[in-house]
Amino acid sequence: MTKFEQIKGFLFDLDGVIANTSAYHSIAWHQLADKLGVTWSDELANNLKGVGRMNSLNLILKYGNKENEYTEEQKEAFAKEKNDNYLKLLDHLDKSEILPGMEDFIKDLSDHHYLISLASSSKNSPMVLEKLDLAKYFDAKVDPATLKHGKPDPEIYTRAAEVLNLKPEECIGVEDASAGVKSINGSGAISLGIGDPRILNEADLNFKDTSEVTLTNIKRAMDMDLLEKAGVESK
């Protein structure tokens, strides 16, 4: 793994990493799944994380064996309905919904002159970042509308490094979703997964929750990893 000292940039997912908005996406998809008669499950909820709007709808229909039941126009209408419901849930979104420690972490990165970009699949992400009053810390954002492939394809994280004029190898990508961790790994950046290590088992670094994500803890985890790989016993 790259050394901590070689890191110059951080590439952030948004929903479920910076704010609790992943839960709102889930509520809105669950509402639509109920309407379509597709059984909701934790597995489906996890597989939807990080996945773009239309691909999410297609996955829900696949789970319900209903892939061929609707026209493209009907699917567009379902996706719009989900987004309208999601936006209603965001009506009162403010700084209080930033996940524990994330504002301090992002501010600390900025104070230490790391470059910061956004790698969210969500077309609502610029608005969400503004509402959270965090947009000012971001040097660049990837517009998901310009991508050919969604997560787990590496494209979004490759671009998130590129917009900072960095190589992916000089960056750490931060994710809560398995599809996102795969995307980071494919780009060549270091993946930092936040959440259940059984679900994020492909992540290079794993933290149980956002409050553990600090520069000191990341440096410690990367140093330990290098020591382990070198076969040196660490305390």
Catalytic positions: 13, 15
| Residue 185 binding ligand BG6, by CB under 6 A | no
Closest CA to 12 of 90, 129, 153, 146: 129
Candidates 2, 56, 117, 158: give the one binding ligand BG6 (CB under 6 A): 56
**Of ligand BG6, Mg ion, none, which one does residue 120 interact with (CB within 5 to 8 Å by kind)?**
ligand BG6
Among 20, 31, 46, 83, binds ligand BG6 (CB under 6 A): 83
Q: Which of 15, 155, 170, 204 binds Mg ion (CB under 5 A)?
A: 15
Q: How far is the CB of 118 from ligand BG6 (least distance, A)?
A: 10
Among 3-11, 44-52, 101-109, 162-170, which window interacts with Mg ion (CB under 5 A)? Answer: 44-52
Minimum CB–partner distance for residue 202 and Mg ion (Å) = 15
Of these, 7, 9, 11, 25, which contacts ligand BG6 (CB under 6 A)? 25
